[in-house]
Amino acid sequence: MKTIKKVLFLNPPDPTVANAPNNPGYAYFEPPIGLLYIYSYLKNTQKYNVSFCDMNIEMKFLSKKNLEDTIKDLMELNKPDLVAVSALYYTSREIFHNISKKIKEIDSSTIVVLGGHYPTHITNLALADKNVDFAILSEGEEGMADLIEALNTSSGLENVEGIAYVKDGKIIKNDRRRFWQGFLNSKRLPWEDINMEHYFKEGKSFLYRVFDKNTIKLGSMTATRGCPNQCTFCSSPKFFKHVWRFREIESIVDEIKFLKENYGVNTIIFNDENMTVYKDWFLKLMDEFKKLNVRWVVGGGLSVRTINNEEIIKKMIESGIAIFNIAIESGNEETLKKVKKPLTLPEVENVVRLIRKYGKGYIIGFFIVGFPFETKKDFLDTLEFGGKLDVDWRAYYCFQPFPGIELYDYCLKNNLMKEYDEEKCANYEFHSAAEIKYAGYTSEELSRLNYLYNLKYNFLENRNLLLGTEESLNQAERDFNYVLELAPMHFFSNYCLAEVMRKRNDESKRKEYLKKAKDILENDKSFDWSYYLKELGINTKTLLGTANKIPLKINTKTLI
């Protein structure tokens, strides 16, 4: 085996880019922070010639070539001895392996390494591909460096933690026993090595619900890693083994200053799994946010129990939090216990109350319905609880039994589904139910009710639409337009925008939106709205009638 001197790090393209790089439609890219950390770690050893390419940016904005030609160009330009491919999501499995195949076709001696949730949790499937030489399990800074060192010195692979490989036809897995302690004092990422100007360039960030996209410049960061909780629907317990770490505040501040001064960033999206674990550290960090005059948000959700504190909520608002993404998950106490979610419903209600008390914070509640043990009543409790909360928007998701979570094993053990299905995982949608055996209802029924309650509470009974003040109507308008940017043929967005205009006494625009809504029903065959219209009591024959109120405050009992 040749000595490894040149290492190429690849972030594979999103399926929308891989399949149609020149498609002008929706695209949303964030810097691949996890891969950048490994790249930075290896670069700082000063032992190797390392290069980095985010294929989303390369294919969408730079070369605009297809997947095969892009790989060919990158191999020719960098001539790597080893290619490290980020393989985060199961939905992109085919892309990961197509990249690996193309690399080997160009140079069979090039070592291919996959890292991320996919090879960590379905190692046997990842390594079944003869084009993949190694898998990095869990986080990859030390694993990647130790792997290359072992290959270059022929010191043996058995002592390298956090890797997997095939030997004599058998898969060998060296589990990670310790995690990278250097994360505590890790410095800023080498942002100058990537094309920062292209990130967040197209598409819609959820932050555009509350800000004009022309007024904010987004940046992504990590302040903590892991989560100490044991939630059975999450892959973190197996990926990070409940280990939680934080960075020194000084290094976080330095990184924000660098992003502000060099790229004009004024809003930070943290990709942390549980940022608020350590109260004293978090309070000090918020003091720094206030001094820096930046807006910030935790994209993956805030832990209810750790922010259920008047001092913390007040300081979060004062420090510039942009959106409260609250990870609630269930509105049924028994379900919360079964999924090991550390919160109670009164705690949720109190957090929402405190946010409303101390500011005008925009609140999104995250919910999951259809856990494999839930009855119909159980998941309806969640949909109803979400509807009654004083939040601005509800993100209702259907449970997905992905490998790497405890409930995946539960489903297999109880014969509720077949083992990992490549095709279904490649085409799943968070809002659609998984195909498992539910307790007294079908996947289709769960999906329909989940979406029905989404329409009921986020549209017809939208908090800001019902409040009716100038400020709240402006927010409702932003929310409905945000949905239209993602789904231009969304009937209910147009329908509810008509109600916004009615409340503003703008009859001309009201009729304009109602006409769009009617045109969608008559001409767009991509989605059947009839079930939802019937259940929600909307008479399409009178859509263009006089300026009557649209039916709001639907009686839930009539929905099921």
Contact indicator for 472, 452 with CB cutoff of 8 Å = no
303 DSSP assignment? E
Contact indicator for 275, 224 with CB cutoff of 8 Å = yes
Strands 134-136 and 245-246: unpaired
Quick one: fold of 6-174? Answer: Rossmann fold (3.40.50)
3-state secondary structure of 56: helix
Same fold flag, 6-174 and 223-253+277-459: no
Contact indicator for 221, 256 with CB cutoff of 8 Å = yes
Angstrom distances, CA of residue 430 to CA of 269, 345, 368, 418, 451: 21, 23, 9, 19, 11
Q: Which long-range contacts (CB under 8 A, 24 or more apart) does 161-169 make?
A: 162/136, 162/137, 162/138, 163/134, 163/135, 163/136, 163/137, 164/119, 164/123, 164/127, 164/134, 164/135, 164/137, 165/127, 165/133, 165/134, 165/135, 166/127
Domain range annotation of the chain: 6-174, 223-253+277-459
534's CB contacts (< 8 A; 6+ apart) are none
Structure tokens at 356: 């409303």
Contact indicator for 316, 359 with CB cutoff of 8 Å = no
Strands 163-167 and 134-136: antiparallel
CA 378 to chain centroid, in Å, comes to 25
Per-residue model confidence (pLDDT) at position 431: 62
Contact indicator for 235, 281 with CB cutoff of 8 Å = no
The arrangement of strands across the sheet holding 302-303 comes to: 302-303, 323-329, 362-369, 393-398
Q: Which CATH class is domain 223-253+277-459?
A: alpha beta
| Beta bridge pairs of residue 362 | 323
Instruction: From first to last of the 560 residues of the chain, give the pLDDT tens digit.
Output: 789 999 999 999 998 888 876 665 555 688 999 999 999 999 999 999 999 999 999 998 899 999 999 999 999 999 999 999 999 988 889 999 999 999 999 999 999 999 999 999 999 999 999 999 999 999 999 999 999 999 999 888 999 999 999 999 999 999 888 899 999 999 999 999 998 888 877 656 889 899 988 888 999 999 999 999 999 999 999 999 999 999 999 999 999 999 999 999 999 999 999 999 999 999 999 999 999 999 999 999 999 999 999 999 999 999 999 999 999 999 999 999 999 999 999 999 999 999 999 988 999 999 999 999 999 999 999 999 999 999 999 999 999 999 999 999 999 999 999 876 655 555 455 568 888 999 899 999 999 999 999 999 999 999 999 999 999 999 999 999 999 988 999 999 999 999 999 999 999 999 999 999 999 999 998 999 999 999 998 887 766 554 445 555 444 444 44
Per-residue model confidence (pLDDT) at position 252: 98
Q: Which amino acid is at 316?
A: M
Angstrom distances, CA of residue 434 to CA of 359, 368, 420: 38, 12, 12
Contact indicator for 496, 460 with CB cutoff of 8 Å = yes
Angstrom distances, CA of residue 81 to CA of 3, 12, 145, 163, 449: 8, 18, 14, 18, 52
144's enclosing H/E stretch is helix 141-153
> What single string gives the DSSP state of each residue in 76-131?
HHH--SEEEEE---GGGHHHHHHHHHHHHHH-TTSEEEEESHHHHHSHHHHTTSTT
443 vs 214: CA distance, rounded Å: 41
CA 200 to chain centroid, in Å, comes to 15
In which residue are the tokens 């918020």 written? Answer: 286
Task: Report which of 367, 382, 373 is spatially closest to residue 437, judged by C-alpha positions.
Answer: 373
Rounded-to-10 torsion of CA 250, 252, 257, 263:
160
Task: Report which of 155, 556, 191 is spatially closest to residue 387, judged by C-alpha positions.
Answer: 556
132 vs 141: CA distance, rounded Å: 19
